[in-house]
Amino acid sequence: MRGVVWRKLLRFAILNVPPWIEPIVIAFWSAFFLLWGPGRRGVMRNLKVIKPGSIGIVNFFRCYRVFWNYAWTIADNVRFKELRTIPDWEFAGWGHFQAMQASNGAILLTAHMGSYDLGAQLFSETSTRRIVMVRAPEEDLETRAFEEHHGAEGLRIEFNTRASELAFDLLETVRDGAIVAIQGDRVVGSISTLPATFFGRTASVPAGPFALALAARVPIYPVFVVRIGRRRYRLITSRPIEITRSRNRDDDFARAVAQWMTELETVVRGCWQQWFTFEPLWPEPAA
């Protein structure tokens, strides 16, 4: 769903809906958005691959759970931006998280899961490291302006539109000791990609984070922000992916991508209801 009108409506809701009727409002709008055909079909098609052998009617109700979780996470995100309300946070992989904070530059590789925006904003305000978040550009200029106006202080957002210039900027940023947060579960727009295997099928992942890690000689930390209840999130930091240079760069990338896909697959399998990918990741219909 694109356009600034939805963002304005969400902001209005956060500033006006009493918390004790919020579950009703979210349940209603989650059901309403089931009418959004392309999004619903995209989620259901992805679910068919994540859960092999699943049937359409069950995936329809699973799709409702995806929309329900999405509604809560974007609501929590806007609530934090507008009212500074923070949710409960639990940490798993605390040692890795601390290592990332202590590292002299790192790549934070995440997915379209849980409240990744909320996580990035919370990092930006609690971390001693500078956080730069790279994300797909908002096509609508008015929407982009709205997002920039309502963004968190201290969080720099870079849009991956001007790939070559951005690559140099990010390389410099990481070498300066900052953490660059990138979503690495799907390819948006015409960016360079790497081949991967995801749930036993061929897929592509953005090449940027891996190339950046190799060039800057910094580790990649897989980090996932998973919603575990109303205003409750778990931040999972997995063991870092180290890209070692060898004579064959393709092999170096393949090893790193395989490790990333293993981490991603484990989290998506356990938290399919929070993988917010509304376009079919695998273009062909599931067998």
User: Rule CB under 8 A: is residue 287 a binding residue for other proteins?
Assistant: no
Q: What is the length of the chain?
A: 287
Q: Binding residue for other proteins (CB under 8 A) from 38, 58, 94, 189?
A: 94
Task: Note whether 86 binds other proteins by CB under 8 A.
Answer: yes
Check residue 153 for interaction with other proteins (CB under 8 A): yes
Of residues 21-40, which lie at the interface with other proteins (CB under 8 A)? Answer: 21-25, 27-28
In the block, which residue shows the tokens 């979780």? 69
Is residue 154 near other proteins by the rule CB under 8 A? yes
Structure-block tokens of residue 64? 């409702």
CB closer to other proteins, 144 vs 231: 231
Question: Which has the closest alpha carbon to 186: 118, 287, 268, 76?
Answer: 268
Q: Which residue intervals of the chain are DSSP H helices? A: 4-16, 22-32, 37-50, 56-83, 94-102, 116-126, 141-149, 163-175, 208-216, 249-270
Q: Which is nearer to other proteins, 87 or 240 (CB)?
A: 87
Query: By CB under 8 A, is residue 93 in contact with other proteins?
Result: yes
**Which 175-214 positions form the footprint of other proteins (CB under 8 A)?**
none
Out of 34, 41, 54, 89, the only residue in the binding site for other proteins (CB under 8 A) is: 89
What string of DSSP letters covers 125-194? HH-SS-EEEEEPPPSSHHHHHHHHHTSPTT-EEEETTSHHHHHHHHHHHHHTT-EEEEE-SS--SS--EE
85 forms part of the interface with other proteins (CB under 8 A): yes
Binding site for other proteins (CB under 8 A): 12-13, 15-25, 27-28, 82-94, 125-126, 153-154, 229-232, 234
